[in-house]
């Protein structure tokens, strides 16, 4: 069941201000049927749909009153991936209402985000007992018990089939491999990795915190539930499931989306990245640290600091890799 997050107003405000950094959010309110009592909701459902809906099916209709943005901005939000993600992950249906449109010097108001904190999930925040079961087109079967076995199998299968994608899963499935990833839509039998979660649970000023997992999209609510379980304020964390896409590409895009108008540079000047997979670390070094594409938009003081999570004899340690 999806609940309204405790600090939903702040969370929604942050999401909108991140999307429209020159805007200024004046109010965040629930509107429409979201404001009804549970009894009234049921009554309205019966009238409208003929049955009482589960809370999961219900949207929270939220109006954000915002100054300093244009009608185009409002439209851009309405059709954005960000809006869709809030809808899919939280059932938040957010519409923007412009309360003032007069401000001339919006650039002055851009908040320096400064730091992105990006955490991988599996084997970084938690150790889980997720297995992947595979059946190849030749009839052979395998159970891959951890990330290492997973990567070895996928690399070998990709080489065998001539697949060159960053993540071979989708291509292999297209070739008839049956790959059961259902353990990754839940958080299976987790052990918290406290050396990381102790860092995660403190939210520094001027930073945004993301969990970026290569898991598929249907894993997001399980990860948010797990954060709740271990006492981390999920409203402070955005979860991104890259569906196997390159994390380096996603980070480069995040930087390129936050360009300050006056300098032409990204307002992200530091990325702290916590990750166990060397494959992902190499990818991020290539696409963020050594990227030619980002040269023009990187602030001169830009820093990428990678903390590689390693399990050494049952103890988790962090190894620092600087850009």
For residue 47, the minimal CB distance to Mg ion (Å) is: 48
Mark the segment that binds Mg ion (CB under 5 A) among 115-123, 217-225, 228-236, 313-321.
Answer: 115-123
Q: Which is nearer to Mg ion, 91 or 280 (CB)?
A: 280
Residues 258-297 as x/- pattern, contact with Mg ion by CB under 5 A: ------------------x---------------------
Q: Where are the beta strands (DSSP E) in 122-267?
A: 126-127, 132-135, 141-144, 178-180, 191-192, 207-213, 237-241
- The structure tokens listed for 258 are 């936050």
Rounded Cα distance, 208 and 263, in Å: 21
* Residue 28, SS3 per DSSP: strand
Kindly identify the residues of this chain, within the stretch 181-240, that bind Mg ion according to CB under 5 A. Answer: none
For residue 55, the minimal CB distance to Mg ion (Å) is: 32
Mark the segment that binds Mg ion (CB under 5 A) among 68-76, 95-103, 120-128, 150-158.
Answer: 120-128
**CA 30: distance to chain centroid?**
24
Rounded Cα distance, 92 and 313, in Å: 44
What is the dihedral sign for C-alpha 56, 127, 201, 116?
negative
Rounded Cα distance, 302 and 313, in Å: 35
* Of positions 85, 123, 236, 283, contacts Mg ion by CB under 5 A: 123
Q: Which is nearer to Mg ion, 126 or 268 (CB)?
A: 126
* Residue 297, SS3 per DSSP: coil
For residue 250, the minimal CB distance to Mg ion (Å) is: 15
Q: Does 63 bind Mg ion (CB under 5 A)?
A: no
Q: Which is nearer to Mg ion, 34 or 132 (CB)?
A: 132
Q: Does 85 bind Mg ion (CB under 5 A)?
A: no
Cβ–Cβ under 8 Å, residues 213 and 219: yes
Cβ–Cβ under 8 Å, residues 182 and 219: no
Q: Which is nearer to Mg ion, 234 or 309 (CB)?
A: 309
* Of positions 24, 63, 122, 272, contacts Mg ion by CB under 5 A: 122
Rounded Cα distance, 116 and 125, in Å: 17
| Strand partners for 60 | 92
Q: Which is nearer to Mg ion, 23 or 190 (CB)?
A: 190
Q: Which is nearer to Mg ion, 89 or 213 (CB)?
A: 213
For residue 133, the minimal CB distance to Mg ion (Å) is: 19
Q: Which is nearer to Mg ion, 115 or 130 (CB)?
A: 130
Binding positions for Mg ion, rule: CB under 5 A: 120, 122-123, 276
């Amino acid at each position: 069941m999806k609940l309204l997050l405790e600090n939903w107003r702040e969370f929604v405000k942050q999401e909108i201000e991140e999307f429209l950094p020159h805007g200024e959010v004046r109010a965040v309110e629930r509107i429409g049927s979201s404001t009804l009592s549970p009894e009234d909701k049921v009554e309205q459902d019966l009238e409208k749909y003929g049955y009482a809906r589960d809370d999961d099916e219900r949207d929270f209709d939220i109006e954000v009153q915002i100054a300093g943005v244009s009608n185009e901005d409002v439209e851009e939000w309405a059709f954005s991936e960000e809006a869709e993600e809030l809808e899919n992950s939280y059932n938040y249906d957010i519409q923007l209402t412009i309360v003032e449109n007069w401000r001339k010097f919006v650039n002055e108001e851009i908040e320096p985000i400064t730091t992105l904190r990006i955490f991988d999930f599996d084997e970084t925040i938690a150790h889980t007992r997720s297995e992947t079961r595979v059946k190849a087109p030749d009839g052979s079967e395998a159970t891959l018990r951890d990330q290492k076995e997973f990567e070895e199998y996928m690399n070998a299968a990709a080489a065998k089939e001539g697949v060159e994608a960053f993540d071979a899963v989708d291509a292999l499935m297209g070739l008839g491999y049956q790959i059961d990833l259902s353990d990754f839509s839940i958080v299976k039998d987790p052990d918290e990795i406290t050396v990381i979660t102790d860092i995660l649970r403190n939210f520094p000023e001027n930073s945004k915190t993301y969990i970026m997992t290569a898991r598929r999209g249907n894993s997001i609510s399980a990860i948010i539930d797990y954060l709740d379980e271990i006492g981390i304020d999920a409203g402070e964390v955005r979860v991104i499931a890259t569906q196997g896409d390159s994390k380096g590409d996603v980070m480069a895009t995040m930087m390129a989306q936050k360009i300050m108008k006056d300098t032409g540079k990204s307002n992200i000047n530091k990325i702290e990245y916590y990750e166990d997979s060397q494959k992902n670390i190499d990818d991020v070094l290539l696409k963020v640290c050594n990227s030619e594409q980002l040269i023009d938009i990187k602030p001169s003081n830009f820093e990428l600091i990678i903390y590689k999570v390693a399990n050494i004899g049952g103890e988790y340690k962090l190894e620092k890799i600087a850009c």
